[in-house]
Structure 1
Amino acid sequence: MSTPAEKLRVNDRPDNKGWKKWGPYLSERSWGTVREDYSPYGDAWNYVNHDMARSRAYRWGEEGIGGISDNKGHICLAFAFWNHRDSILKERMFGLAGPEGNHGEDVKELYYYLDSTPTHSYMKMLYKYPQQEFPYNRLVVETMRRTRYDFEFELLDTGIFDKDEYFDIFIEYAKADENDLLMKVTVYNRSAKPAPLTLLPTIWFRNTWSWGYEQYAYKPMLNGIAGSQIEVNHKQLGKFKLYCEKADELLFCDNETNTERLYGRQNQTPYTKDGINNFIITGHRENINPNEIGTKAAARYEKMIGAGESYTIRLRFSDKTQLLTPFGNFDDIFELRKKEADEFYDALQKNVADPELRAIQRQAYAGMLWNKQFYYYNVNEWLKGDPKMPVPFQGRVYARNDTWKHMYTANILSMPDKWEYPWFAAWDLAFHTLTLARLDPHFAKRQLAVILREYYMHPNGQIPAYEWNFSDVNPPVHAWATWKVYEIDKELNGTGDIGFLERVFHKLLLNFTWWVNRKDVAGNNIFGGGFLGLDNIGVFDRSQPLPVGGRIEQADGTGWMAMYTLNMLRIACEISLVRPSYQDMASKFFEHFLHIAAAMSNLGKHNISLWDEEDQFYYDVLHTPDNNARLLKIRSMVGLIPLFAVEILDEDMLSKLPDFKRRLEWVLRNRPDLASLISRWHEPGKGATHLLSLLRGHRMKMLLKRMFDETEFLSDYGIRALSKYHEAHPYEFVLNGEVFRVKYVPAESETSLFGGNSNWRGPVWFPVNFLLIDSLLKFYQYYGDDFEVEYPTHSGQVMSIKDTAILLADRLINIFRKDFRGHIPAYGSVKKLQQDPHFRGLYLFFEYFHGDNGCGLGASHQTGWTGLVADLIEYVYKYQPEGVTITSAVNK
């Protein structure tokens, strides 16, 4: 069988050039980001808000609907629409700022990523645009009325889609060559009556010239030709043309801030960024350039679309500037690229037989690829302010990220969600790379490597956490992700990239050292760290000083670090097979793991440890200033994270690493106190393997007993972040008469911690569920079928660890599958999403899911880590329990 053409393109070069030079690299929201915030007190949401966005030139990024750009974001193309009712153009997705939403920031639109190849040779998305006036004000006002205890008020709740008075707008791209892009927009009128629509494919330059830097003073230019072509001249990228078939007219303005509207200051040009918007809405031409030149331009297409009818426009953006018939082979190229996309995914999904699962998996892949973004942020320049700005820079009282002056990012990065989280987030990115590795191993490896480069990683070794606070602490999952990506790449391509492992390993050594030096406060191999991604799971905000004083020894922080040591051990062993000198590093991490394992098992000076014998569970330990200690008995994901620390070493590998094996055996022989911590080391398991784990058989069984209990952690749709036990029995901590409470909350957050836009107090989260499944499969690699557990607890069903892992994966996949009623759990009770034929086959990959009914919550396009469903589908087909069909749990 020949290699698919798209696979050849992916393997052609490892960087983001060539066929990947152009892609969906525009953000969907640049307003309300830290980068655009030059306020004194760090008020990012209000410094540039949605209303200001159409009039203010951005400094660091650009945004658009269904947009693309080059890999440095210089030339941008996207689509704007007008339904002849709205008071502004639909140029950008609308949503609520963090302080406006009753559960934090929240996009209020309906759009879906339907398809993409890794090189973006073919892409498709869908935007649903109401024909009635878009309910901007109602969405804001109604949400402000609601509390944190109420559900979010969504666009569908306004009733604007009830009569099907909307347009389905399909946006498609196909590349004829590396710098030759074909664009097609097909609009369907879903209503029972004709409706007008103005379409405005828009091209503009990111503004690099207005900020007072001499080296960026060059200003590129757009020129109109013959009413249907826009000539593009850019010093760095060269010459292009945008061919606009049968456009009604071309409109030009400048990507410059309308300082008169926003700040009451005189404009530098009459043709400001909002000029095209102002002309379309009012009909007044004074804001568009009659000479048809500028730095922003659009082709206008106005059409009355009949009931149930469709309308298509075609465009071509090309470096071939002398095309006589730019649309002559247009349809043929589109069909070829779609065929190649199908061939690529047929090969990638060869193990997935179920058509519904193939569709879910392919849209998950599409979301991963559409969520790429050009991420630009020079922290040192940003802190100082620019020489020229729309308003004079007043400086900062609160200088966010002021200890990260070295950080200079200008890369294509995988975003968690390009509207709700259109910014770099480190631990999210680690999970993204697993799914991306199946699509484009080169890109996945670059993502892991780039955040460890000297212009990201702090000189002290800390990995930047996320844009709002680079100094916060994310779980150390990058070594785990590095090993997983290495394994996936090796599985797909036959050989392992040792050079990649070695390059990343060196940088991870710095980060590991930072953890040991900064987060083991007492020097006893018990780690703190902060919130560690589990935002509001605890009784206190662990990123802030404790209200009681003192410190917390964290079961999750220590579990994460034990996992980190084993990941580094495994990587060192693999490199040692080629470079024997790395055996010393393998020995170092082996011994470090043993010391952490000892610390977690031993009683401290207060006769207290992280493992509670009474409850048979791991808890955090609070050390107070009066030299007392107490367990914080919250049954949460914190206590399950020690399961992640598991690694298997086999005899065949050890025989090839004699120095490491010799040191390992010396430690086991001369430190019996440490040797006893390793489960049955001298009794090889399945396939002559040895197990390294924090958990011995009994503790593991007790932890799994609680985890698989449907009255505690196990829901129909995965493992909850907090035990349901706390629904009837909230955990309470009393301090000076004030009660701090942790209660099981299966849906949106009821607290304001971390903006109130996430909830680790009950819902199901894909990343930690994936880690649990991955760990269970490692345990099975050692124990085989001999180690059995009851699943679910109290059910009387006994099975192997492998079977529990896959049935757990099946529950997570069921979130997106139709049940026996034909309903998709992720969409809850929303009839439009469940029953309407024009919503059928459309998937949203939410941030997290209701702990009881599987309904999607939080960010709606968080394919970043919920895209892991694609990997779970692969797992289920690979490890499906004998005699259990893949859809067994759906119809239970």
Structure 2
Amino acid sequence: MSRAEQIRGKFFGKDKPASDGKTNGSPDASAARPGPEVPLSIHIPKPHPPTQQPNPPPKLKDSKSDSSPKPESTRDSLSFRERLVEQLGHEYHGAERYRLVQDDKKELHWKRWGPYVSDRQWATVREDYSANGDAWSHFPHDHARSRAYRWGEDGLAGISDNHQRVCFGLSVWNGQDSILKERLFGVTGHQGNHGEDVKELYYYLDSTPTHSYMKYLYKYPQKRYPYEELVRENVNRGRDVPEFEILDTDCFDDDRYWDVFVEYAKDEQDPDSIYVRITSYNRGPDAATLHVVPQFWFPNTWSWNDDHPQTPSMYASGEGVITAKHHSLGKLNLYCLPSPPPVDAKGEEAQGDAEGVFPELLFTENNTNFSRLYGGQNETSYVKDAFHDHIVTSHRPTECDSQEGFFAGKIHSQTQSHHTKPSGGFRGDEIETPPSEQEQGPRTPFPPTASYVNPERKGTKSAAHYIFRDVPPRGGCAVVRMKLTPRKPAEDPSVEDEGVFDDAVEERREEANEFYNGLVLGPISDDFRQIMRQALGGMLWTKQHYQFIQEPWMKGDPKQPPPPSERKHIRNKDWRHLHISDILSMPDKWEYPFFAAWDTAFHCIPLAVVDPTFAKKQLDLLTREWYMKPDGQIPAYEWNFGDVNPPVHAWSVFRVFKIERKLYGNEDLAFLERVFQKLLLNFTWWVNRKDAEGNNIFEGGFLGLDNIGVFNRSEPLPTGGTLRQADGTAWMAFYCLNMLNIALELAKHNPVYEDIASKFFEHFIFISDAMTFKEGDNEQSLWNEQDGMYYDAIQFESGHTMQLPVRSLVGLIPLYATLVLEPSVINRLPGFKKRMEWFIENRPEIAERNMANMKVRGRGERRLLALASKERLERILQVMLDEDEFLSEHGIRSLSKKHKEHPWGMDVHGQRYEVNYWPGDSMSGMFGGNSNWRGPIWLAVNFLLIESLQRFYQYYGDEVQVECPTGSGDYMNLANVAEEIQHRIIHIFGRDVEGKRATNGGNVKLDRDPHFRDYVWFYEYFHADDGHGIGASHQTGWSGLVAYHILQSGASCRLPKTPKTPRGIVHHYFDETIDSQSEYGGATPSMLSAYSVADANTLGDISPDAL
């Protein structure tokens, strides 16, 4: 009997027939087993490119013409999609849409399992219990494999349940590294010449909203991973040179690396049963060996408090079966299936053991190895890093010759001397000296018989160790199949039959194709479709279980030493009410593994396209009482919850509400009203705290734009006086208009909100007036008539005001404050109409000074509320669309290129303060040095500029034509200008005629290599001149907004550096949803007929004010 047969027999509770034909197994088990044994060696599916198109969806049947029942045998052969079509008929909108409905109705909990494990938990504020708040040094990467986390978990391609009670993740070993690769590595904020930065190659390739199908790619070198080289090179570099990246080393030379694809797929009707398929391809020129070690573990919840629930347990319940028991999750089985032998690029088996590869099950405890880290006594015999010791011989402690029974372990130490920076940043306030190569660790007890894993095969952390030897070169591959399910083998044929297993995974992938192809049916290129799908898939992958409970975090845990008393005064001491334990959208799960309030607002726009329920949940949570402060302040991010970010929450709330109404036909007024009530508190907090003197001129701190100003805007001015921020005041005007817009929507259903709408209308007028009006000697104007731009200003105690003539986004943000009022809306709300007209007639000194004259009606008798009048709008656009100032080939710069040759600065008390044009990385250490608003292109602020231009077009139509680019002689209306900017942003990611992507920065491997060129990273921001990506490499959070641009205007987007596509669609982006008869009952006819087929099938009709 082969070992494969023995393992299968134990999976199913029976033995295989012996050579004499007699059976030892249970008759019941035998009867339950379906069909003959399937051969172990099967076809290994090759990785599918993200752009592959699905088979055509099943044709909907007319129930009248085909109502006869199908034979049982035919029905059994139908796919899940085909059975749904048969069941739902014309109501079928896709298998994934069906799951979303089931989840929304709480019929099945499809989102219980997802990619909720962080990419980095080490060096986070939550895990920092230091006296000085230096999270990077307190919990470095070298501690992560040996030290239990308190507030979360991390891993490669990790998944967990929504309360993170149990986790699953990938680890691999190439036979060369000193440790298993079980988490992503990067340099810390102290080590990087431009701040913290991940130094790995990985991609979020795909995910459906319910995570019924997910795909992830990790590229793992076959050479020793260059940990020390990456740290050394980055530490030694200055801010004037780029970061040293993994592709700058030699570890990917000659393609000596592994492509490790991880796929997750859920059972068609069981959200708690998950297929795991790990396919590893040898890209190198020689045969190579790979250890694949998937890990399954419980987060440590038992080392902190005496009142913790019963400790969960894992154990080997059979050969190749790990059973996990948890007091609230119940029992789960992880079936670690034997793998077929590796195959070559043609799919033919390599020479070797035909029986394949069988996993060794490993068990330990998820407890800290105090011996290795601190020379202390371990709580348990088996500890968190046991798998490293068991598999990697060089990681094991060696016996000390001088004293029997002890060993000395070598660890990387990152606890170094440091000194405080003059002005701290929110990502860590200390500067660290470079770490040494390796340091001798403390002597610790050596076990008499070294067994690093529990021989009894039980614990709280487990792994399945597969060894694939001599995988053929140039495309040879090996596959691991696992099944996580509460079901027993007799209830799940996929555990026995690899064919059934692979068919299920492929069917989920086809359903993912169906879902994404259903978003856009217009003529969008395959490359754009691929970018869109990876952007949206990446946003779904960057969900994370985030836990932060302020009281125990601040005080420490009963079973642990108390934290230093100084720690109470470092950060977040005033946020005692915080009690967070939710699935949240992260900006980037490695570089920013924490929520950020204003990032979240932008995340929710594209998320609403694929999963409006999740988007609404994100926005709702930030206003709940366990997040929002009692005074109305919304928490910013964990480094400083009290910091001030731009007030974009109301904008996002209303946009998500309208997107869901348009795409899914659901008008969630309860959500809109609930969040609006909380935002009233937040608006009041802004007025009371940030308008210091009640004059409607706001100072808001850095407002998310970090180093954009000549001074650090979060600190007192070195000149004295008060900084009057053009963007702070504009943000509040923008906030005011969005609250007005929501109030008008709610007033259609409840007239009480007419009064609130009137309040926000008047408040906007006063803010607008304060920005633009000069009254005697009281110099308060932020508009510079000579330059045609808004500037910040310093108001001194003497009353004198001095403008700071820096051409930056600060001067463009006033364009955001724009709202078009439809006549049918005004007419439907007589109370609001009466008060508005009274104000215009009786306060002409204010109404006529408003930037946009409200007495003048636009096309369709619309009214415009805006900070910028027509004349000032045209003057600002003349500067903004100048390619020597703001307009780049890749979008709108954050600082005018003019400052490259003409920096602006001033000397204060012998110190020079200056703003220069830095198109790429930051040249200063302000705010950690890894963020730069002095030139680069940021998609979030570009997104709002595009929407503002679209709104202006709704009012002005073709009346306003501007030169774009300035000096080109090419005049466009504002909708065309908005589309031009969208296309330039899309060009950051799309291939040009030479096959290059600007975001890749000219890297030949990324652009040309067939195993790289289809994959896209979504960086934090982009070089203002050449478009290459900078900062966090997986910040699909707001760079994922490109998916929305592609959906809205990708059909008319030309390839970069090619002639422009005729703009026949753009004129009709907005009219279809303005003043539609169905919405307001007015007489204005629908303009849907004006749409082209392409535009009607994209998101082009979801304008900023779509109804």
Q: Distance in 2 between matches of 1:498 and 1:766?
A: 29
Partner of 1:662: 834
User: Given the alignment, which residue of 762, 786, 799 partners 2:935?
Assistant: 762
Partner of 1:316: 483
User: 2:136, 2:188 within 8 Å by CA — same for their partners in 1?
Assistant: yes
Three-state SS of the structure 2 residue aligned to 1:179 is: strand
Three-state SS of the structure 2 residue aligned to 1:163 is: helix
Partner of 2:697: 526
The residue type paired with residue 321 of structure 2 is Q
Partner of 1:820: 993
Partner of 1:640: 812
- Is 1:255 aligned to residue 346 of structure 2? no
Q: Distance in 2 between matches of 1:421 and 1:608?
A: 38
Three-state SS of the structure 2 residue aligned to 1:20 is: coil
Q: Distance in 1 between matches of 2:233 and 2:324?
A: 44
User: Given the alignment, which residue of 883, 886, 894 partners 1:721?
Assistant: 894
Partner of 1:210: 303
User: 2:1017, 2:1033 within 8 Å by CA — same for their partners in 1?
Assistant: yes
User: Given the alignment, which residue of 393, 398, 402 partners 2:573?
Assistant: 402
The residue type paired with residue 751 of structure 2 is P
User: 2:771, 2:780 within 8 Å by CA — same for their partners in 1?
Assistant: no
* Bigger-Rg structure (1/2): 2
Partner of 1:197: 290
Deviates more, 1:392-401 or 1:828-837: 392-401
User: 1:38, 1:396 within 8 Å by CA — same for their partners in 2?
Assistant: no
User: 1:426, 1:465 within 8 Å by CA — same for their partners in 2?
Assistant: yes
- Is 1:886 aligned to residue 1054 of structure 2? yes
Unaligned runs of 5+ in 1: none
User: 2:580, 2:627 within 8 Å by CA — same for their partners in 1?
Assistant: yes
User: 1:401, 1:471 within 8 Å by CA — same for their partners in 2?
Assistant: yes
User: 2:993, 2:1056 within 8 Å by CA — same for their partners in 1?
Assistant: no
- Is 1:279 aligned to residue 390 of structure 2? yes
Q: Distance in 1 between matches of 2:965 and 2:496?
A: 60
User: Given the alignment, which residue of 1, 4, 11 partners 2:101?
Assistant: 11
Cα drift, residue 678 of structure 1? 5.6
User: Given the alignment, which residue of 455, 460, 467 partners 1:295?
Assistant: 460
The Cα offsets for residues 573-626 of structure 1, whole Å up to 9 and x where unpaired, read as: 001101111001100000000000000111264435100112110001112355
User: Given the alignment, which residue of 18, 30, 42 partners 2:133?
Assistant: 42
Identical counterparts, % of pairs: 51
Q: Distance in 1 between matches of 2:1056 and 2:241?
A: 34
- Is 1:138 aligned to residue 229 of structure 2? yes
Deviates more, 1:323-332 or 1:651-660: 323-332
Q: Distance in 2 between matches of 1:217 and 1:5?
A: 38
Cα drift, residue 134 of structure 1? 0.2
User: 1:15, 1:443 within 8 Å by CA — same for their partners in 2?
Assistant: no
Three-state SS of the structure 2 residue aligned to 1:90 is: coil
Deviates more, 1:788-797 or 1:606-615: 606-615
User: 1:239, 1:321 within 8 Å by CA — same for their partners in 2?
Assistant: no
Cα drift, residue 5 of structure 1? 1.1
The residue type paired with residue 753 of structure 2 is Y
Q: CA 1:731/1:492 → structure 2, altered by over 3 Å: closer, same or farther?
A: same
Q: Distance in 2 between matches of 1:623 and 1:124?
A: 55
Partner of 1:362: 533
User: 1:385, 1:395 within 8 Å by CA — same for their partners in 2?
Assistant: no
Q: Distance in 1 between matches of 2:868 and 2:536?
A: 35
Q: Distance in 2 between matches of 1:790 and 1:888?
A: 20
Deviates more, 1:779-788 or 1:185-194: 779-788
Q: Distance in 1 between matches of 2:1001 and 2:1059?
A: 17
- Is 1:702 aligned to residue 875 of structure 2? yes
The residue type paired with residue 310 of structure 1 is C
User: Given the alignment, which residue of 525, 538, 557 partners 2:728?
Assistant: 557
Q: Distance in 1 between matches of 2:711 and 2:854?
A: 39
Q: Distance in 2 between matches of 1:591 and 1:11?
A: 41
Q: Distance in 2 between matches of 1:630 and 1:104?
A: 34
Partner of 2:984: 811
Cα drift, residue 680 of structure 1? 4.0
Q: Distance in 1 between matches of 2:105 and 2:920?
A: 40
Three-state SS of the structure 2 residue aligned to 1:814 is: helix
User: Given the alignment, which residue of 1014, 1022, 1027 partners 1:854?
Assistant: 1027
User: 1:82, 1:197 within 8 Å by CA — same for their partners in 2?
Assistant: yes
Three-state SS of the structure 2 residue aligned to 1:152 is: coil
- Normalized against structure 2, the TM-score is what? 0.79
Three-state SS of the structure 1 residue aligned to 2:381 is: coil
Q: Distance in 2 between matches of 1:224 and 1:770?
A: 53
User: 2:987, 2:1056 within 8 Å by CA — same for their partners in 1?
Assistant: no
Q: CA RMSD in A?
A: 1.5
Cα drift, residue 877 of structure 1? 4.6
The Cα offsets for residues 289-334 of structure 1, whole Å up to 9 and x where unpaired, read as: 1111101000000012111200101000001134464143211211
Superposed counterparts of 1:143-222, under 5 Å: 143-176=234-267, 177-214=270-307, 216-222=308-314
Q: Distance in 2 between matches of 1:161 and 1:564?
A: 49
Cα drift, residue 889 of structure 1? 5.2
Q: Distance in 1 between matches of 2:320 and 2:601?
A: 44
User: 1:240, 1:321 within 8 Å by CA — same for their partners in 2?
Assistant: no
The residue type paired with residue 116 of structure 2 is Y
Partner of 1:227: 319
Cα drift, residue 514 of structure 1? 0.3
User: 1:811, 1:889 within 8 Å by CA — same for their partners in 2?
Assistant: no
The residue type paired with residue 779 of structure 1 is F
Cα drift, residue 758 of structure 1? 0.7
The residue type paired with residue 429 of structure 1 is T
Q: Distance in 2 between matches of 1:104 and 1:618?
A: 32
Superposed counterparts of 1:459-858, under 5 Å: 459-603=630-774, 605-625=777-797, 627-676=799-848, 677=850, 679-858=852-1031
Cα drift, residue 890 of structure 1? 4.9
User: Given the alignment, which residue of 193, 204, 210 partners 1:119?
Assistant: 210
The Cα offsets for residues 789-846 of structure 1, whole Å up to 9 and x where unpaired, read as: 1100111111100000001100000001111221100001211111111102100000
Q: Distance in 1 between matches of 2:562 and 2:378?
A: 14
Q: Distance in 2 between matches of 1:475 and 1:696?
A: 23
User: 2:990, 2:1055 within 8 Å by CA — same for their partners in 1?
Assistant: no
User: 1:258, 1:272 within 8 Å by CA — same for their partners in 2?
Assistant: yes
Cα drift, residue 213 of structure 1? 3.8
Unaligned runs of 5+ in 2: 1-89, 339-357, 397-449, 1061-1107
Cα drift, residue 468 of structure 1? 0.3
Q: Distance in 2 between matches of 1:440 and 1:556?
A: 32
Q: CA 1:350/1:734 → structure 2, altered by over 3 Å: closer, same or farther?
A: same
Three-state SS of the structure 1 residue aligned to 2:989 is: coil
Three-state SS of the structure 1 residue aligned to 2:293 is: strand
The residue type paired with residue 650 of structure 1 is E
The Cα offsets for residues 712-741 of structure 1, whole Å up to 9 and x where unpaired, read as: 000000000000010001111210111101
Q: CA 1:888/1:784 → structure 2, altered by over 3 Å: closer, same or farther?
A: farther
The residue type paired with residue 1054 of structure 2 is I
User: 1:678, 1:691 within 8 Å by CA — same for their partners in 2?
Assistant: no
The residue type paired with residue 165 of structure 1 is R
Three-state SS of the structure 2 residue aligned to 1:40 is: coil
Q: Distance in 1 between matches of 2:235 and 2:761?
A: 54
Q: CA 1:815/1:327 → structure 2, altered by over 3 Å: closer, same or farther?
A: farther
The residue type paired with residue 472 of structure 2 is G
Three-state SS of the structure 2 residue aligned to 1:635 is: coil
Cα drift, residue 225 of structure 1? 2.5
Q: Distance in 1 between matches of 2:384 and 2:190?
A: 27
The residue type paired with residue 510 of structure 1 is L
The Cα offsets for residues 322-366 of structure 1, whole Å up to 9 and x where unpaired, read as: 446414321121121111111111111223522111111001011
Q: Distance in 2 between matches of 1:239 and 1:575?
A: 47
Three-state SS of the structure 2 residue aligned to 1:521 is: coil
Partner of 1:457: 628
- Is 1:265 aligned to residue 430 of structure 2? no
Partner of 1:241: 333
The residue type paired with residue 736 of structure 1 is H
